[in-house]
């Protein structure tokens, strides 16, 4: 199976560990992810909160270069922007014409866009994933954290149940882990307010970490670069401000899946995690 991969800016920067672990896992599954040629930034919140036309034109420019291939996305924010632009353009001929004028070529809004979780669980399927598991994540209790933009709004993303998504839970259960029941799967981490208004991120991150801990999780699994950064890199700050102690490693789901598939730690960039996972993995006998 081949998809055109749209990594997004973060996967070349702060989420290079997400990038590497994605490629490690997909290679083991025989999945080819050639990069979408000359992709540009999705525009993120900066574009959609400034100029709705630009917010549709930036994804249209990238997606119109896919040549009909299904586009695979890892970052939840890129996924949301690409799918939103698709929805707007496909549903509104006048907007499609304006976007074509801005981009310089027509785009019909119909390039299929899928998140890696959808590809792994639905296209590849849990049976093939199960067959690729070499060292199950036995005894590892994981809080699967989806964040905002994979599941919301469901009319646009069509990802999963918007209040209780289960794609990541089912994937990691197949990898031998035990997903915990918890209510904060789709709560917001504060996203890019990490830079502009970090106080908001510290408060929201504290609520998410406290709930994961209360649910008995050993660690958190994420599917979005900003979710991962805000919970991992800011965890010490959150602990200092709240007076609580979490010490919860915050993985990308691809890193956990890669461990279960027997990928070596450096192929998964586990060294990039700020909250060290070594003691937890050692205690559970994972990754030896």
Partner 1 sequence: MTGRMSPTIKIESIGGSLATQVAERSGASPMSCYQCAKCTGGCPVASGGDLKPHELVRLVQMDQHLAVLSSRFIWECTSCQTCTTRCPQKVDIAAMIDALRGMSRSAGAVAPSTAVPVFTDLFLDAVRKHGRVNELGLMVRFKLRTRRFFEDVDKAPMMLSKGKLPLLAREVAGKDERKAMFGRAAEGGAK
Contact residues toward partner 1 (CB under 8 A) are 9-10, 12-17, 38-41, 43-54, 57-58, 61, 97-99, 101-104, 148-149, 152-154, 162, 186-188, 190-193, 195-198, 200, 203-204, 233, 269, 271-274
Cβ atoms within 10 A of the Cβ of 181, count?
A: 10
| Pair of tokens at residue 75 | 């970052």
Whether the bond into 153 is cis, omega within 30 of 0? yes
Give min distance, CB of 259 to partner 1, in A.
18
- Which residues lie across from 35 on neighbouring strands? 5
Q: Render 122-167 in DSSP notation, one character per residue.
A: IIIIHHHHHHT-SS--TT-EEEE---STTTSSHHHH--S-SSS--H
Nearer of residues 125 and 154 to partner 1, judged by Cβ: 154
User: Helix, strand, coil proportions of the chain in percent (round to 5)?
Assistant: 50, 10, 40
Nearer of residues 31 and 103 to partner 1, judged by Cβ: 103
Nearer of residues 103 and 116 to partner 1, judged by Cβ: 103
Give min distance, CB of 31 to partner 1, in A.
23
Give min distance, CB of 14 to partner 1, in A.
4
Give min distance, CB of 197 to partner 1, in A.
7
Instruction: Specify the length of the chain in residues.
Output: 288
Nearer of residues 106 and 125 to partner 1, judged by Cβ: 106
Give min distance, CB of 246 to partner 1, in A.
17
Nearer of residues 173 and 207 to partner 1, judged by Cβ: 207
* CA 259 – CA 287 distance, rounded (Å): 6
């Amino acid at each position: 199976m081949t998809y055109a991969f749209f990594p997004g800016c973060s996967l070349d920067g702060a989420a290079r560990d997400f990038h590497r672990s994605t490629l490690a896992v997909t290679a083991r599954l025989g999945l080819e992810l050639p990069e979408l040629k000359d992709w540009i930034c999705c525009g993120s919140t900066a574009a959609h909160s400034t100029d709705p036309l630009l917010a549709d034109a930036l994804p249209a420019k990238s997606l119109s270069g896919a040549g009909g291939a299904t586009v695979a996305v890892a970052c939840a924010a890129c996924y949301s922007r690409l799918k939103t632009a698709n929805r707007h353009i496909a549903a509104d001929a006048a907007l499609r014409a304006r976007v074509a004028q801005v981009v310089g070529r027509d785009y019909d809004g119909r390039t299929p866009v899928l998140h890696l979780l959808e590809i792994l669980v639905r296209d590849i399927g849990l049976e093939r994933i199960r067959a690729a598991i070499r060292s199950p994540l036995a005894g590892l209790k994981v809080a699967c954290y989806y964040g905002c933009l994979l599941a919301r709004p469901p009319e646009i993303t069509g990802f999963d149940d918007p209040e209780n998504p289960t794609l990541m839970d089912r994937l990691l259960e197949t990898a031998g882990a035990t997903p915990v029941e918890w209510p904060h799967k789709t709560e917001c981490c504060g996203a890019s307010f990490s830079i502009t208004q970090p106080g908001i991120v510290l408060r929201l991150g504290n609520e998410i970490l406290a709930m994961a801990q209360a649910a008995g999780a050993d660690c958190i699994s994420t599917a979005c670069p900003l979710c991962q950064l805000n919970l991992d890199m800011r965890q010490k700050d959150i602990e200092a401000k709240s007076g609580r102690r979490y010490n919860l490693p915050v993985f990308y789901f691809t890193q956990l899946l890669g461990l279960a598939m027997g990928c070596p730690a450096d192929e998964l960039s586990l060294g990039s995690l700020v909250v060290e996972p070594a003691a937890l993995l050692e205690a559970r006998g994972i990754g030896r």
